[in-house]
Amino acid sequence: MKIAIMGAMREEIDPILAAVGTYTSSQHAGNVFYECVYGGHELVIAYSKIGKVFSAITASVMLERFGAQMLLFSGVAGGISKELKIGDLIMASSLCQHDVDITAFGHPFGFIPEGTLMIESDPQLRSLASEVAIDMKIDLYEGIIATGDQFVASSERKEWIHQTFDADALEMEGSSVACVCQNFAIPFFILRAISDTADGGASDDFDAFLKTSAQVSATFILEMVKRLEN
Ligand code: ADE
């Protein structure tokens, strides 16, 4: 099977490239795409740059140009749920866009006509992840991830996102990638390790924990790849 693995930042895919060893690379639409064989699968790996627009471009290219049949996202997030500590892993059950606001026309926050407020990730990939977590003796949380083109570093904004969407974590790419995969009917899985708790200390924590949390997420994703059937 051809599997896309993407992150948003170079730091999020560096541990994956280091683990797979040898790969080829090519450029398209402003990104570098790395290809290799790993765990009996063809992989295409890329980082998109930050945010919903860049991540949607990268995901679309991975599916349309590289023919990926599944997409796995690995990266970091700001924690909302009090249960989530820095370094903990959360897989998205569903994702939403917290910065979409056409409430002036009577729509709820996050809703776009002809779209859905929440996009559910692939249930089979989530159950595979649960098995991997048990075997690796890792706590894997499952919950709603809210995406927006904002680095959230405020308790008020974080609380609003929690109250409005019942979200457990937030980041800047998951929901746009989910939207691409939903529209191309491709199974997807979004995994994030917590780098900060999206409050006043978020930017310092993000800088301090980006690499270590990205490594936690990457290690888990590669274990999933090894267990995927062809
Ligand atoms: N990714 C990791 N931490 C984040 C935060 N606080 N806001 C948005 N995206 C993030």
* Domain spans in the chain, listed from the N-terminal domain onward: 2-227
> pLDDT grade, residue 212 (50/70/90)?
very high
Q: How far is the CA of 137 from the centre of ligand 1 (A)?
A: 26
Q: Which CATH architecture has domain 2-227?
A: 3-Layer(aba) Sandwich (3.40)
Ligand 1 site residues (CB inside 6 A) read: 76-78, 151-153, 170-172, 195-196, 198, 202, 206
Q: How far is the CA of 63 from the centre of ligand 1 (A)?
A: 26
Q: How far apart are CA 44 and CA 163, in angstroms?
A: 37
Predicted local confidence at residue 159, as pLDDT: 98
Three-state secondary-structure class, residue 171: strand
Q: Are strands 24-28 and 70-79 parallel, antiparallel or unpaired?
A: unpaired
Long-range contacts, stretch 30-36, CB < 8 angstroms, 24+ apart: 30/54, 30/57, 31/57, 31/58, 31/61, 33/61, 33/62, 33/66, 35/66
Task: Show the tokens assigned to 77.
Answer: 């997030």
| Residue pLDDT, tens place only, 45-87 | 999 999 999 999 999 999 999 999 999 999 999 999 999 999 9
Cβ atoms 211, 188 nearer than 8 A? no
pLDDT at 230 over 90: no
